[in-house]
Structure 1
């Protein structure tokens, strides 16, 4: 082919339309990948929020929204506006664990398969085996890592039987028995009970002013996010 066949007298050298199309597609794919990275993985976000809630329900609250609503209540003069804001504040302070659980159940198995995460890792972080089964994992009853998931016949050997259920009053009494700060895990170790029951009872005590949330532990060795510590109000 003559070298001048690729030359346009008016516009100069002709561009290969196929090559230009491939370059455009490659750029579009790169842009899409960058956008996905910036947006984050919704499935991973759902798993992260649920695991944070399991460890410390207060850690998934929108503290910025709570602070903004508290400021608006302080500034508002109309009582009707105040009561609407107070209602919004109450909802913001209450972490909806049921919605976090539903989101987790919908994506956990697919996300774990893609990431190579074994179900035992979720059990280690305190996820109930029942939730894992609902999410599609093939797991049996968790073996007693903590008091709530098994009893011990002799040191180092768990029977696999669940500990007796703890009532709300048992949990409240257990919280009051601590002389210093404690975590949710500490409370569950002391009184047993299901994760959901212990969380709800402790949140109710915080709302009632019987317990103070001291914030995240600053000496947490990991892994994962540090749990919040609590102290009873004397």
Structure 2
């Protein structure tokens, strides 16, 4: 699905909807060096590099990395791009960073609870003191408790694409991306509730976790489509 992913996201509309949220957040924390561990086709890594951050972009998918390299070239951005496994980040990456980002609901591609903790532990070790881990997720509390609804306003902004779950279970959410009657793609995700992910962050050693709902600091628990957690290593 990597070749169609940019159509689902729609870079310009997504950039407009985010309204500089991540750039402002990173600048507020004095961030210079950023590691993107789920760069996908490069959306955030490229835009952050354009804003003057030193960005290294990694992903576990060769197809996504190839598209990220192509997109970086189209945007005239020099970007260090490489493959990395979340469970062994510190074995393959020697540098330490002011911020690590994992966006696009990527973390919920992990299907074993122990992998969540291992991955977050790896991220913690890659951060300088005072560094932050920025990780987002679908609002699985709302999906599991209330059923699926989505405004498709902030994250998946592409036109003429239907996005809805075909399976909702405590341990599995399968989402269908429908381009036409004959062209459909499916993603299987492991839903994780907000309190559980927050607990993993604290257990890894993070001292403070702030959560935003669709980029707002104040929100009703079931209202946002996405949650963004900012975990600080003091």
Give the strand-richer structure, 1 or 2: 2
Does TM, normalized by the shorter one, top 0.5?
no
- Larger Cα Rg: Structure 1 or Structure 2? 1
| TM-score between both structures, scaled by the size of structure 2 | 0.26
| TM-score between both structures, scaled by the size of structure 1 | 0.26
Give the helix-richer structure, 1 or 2: 1
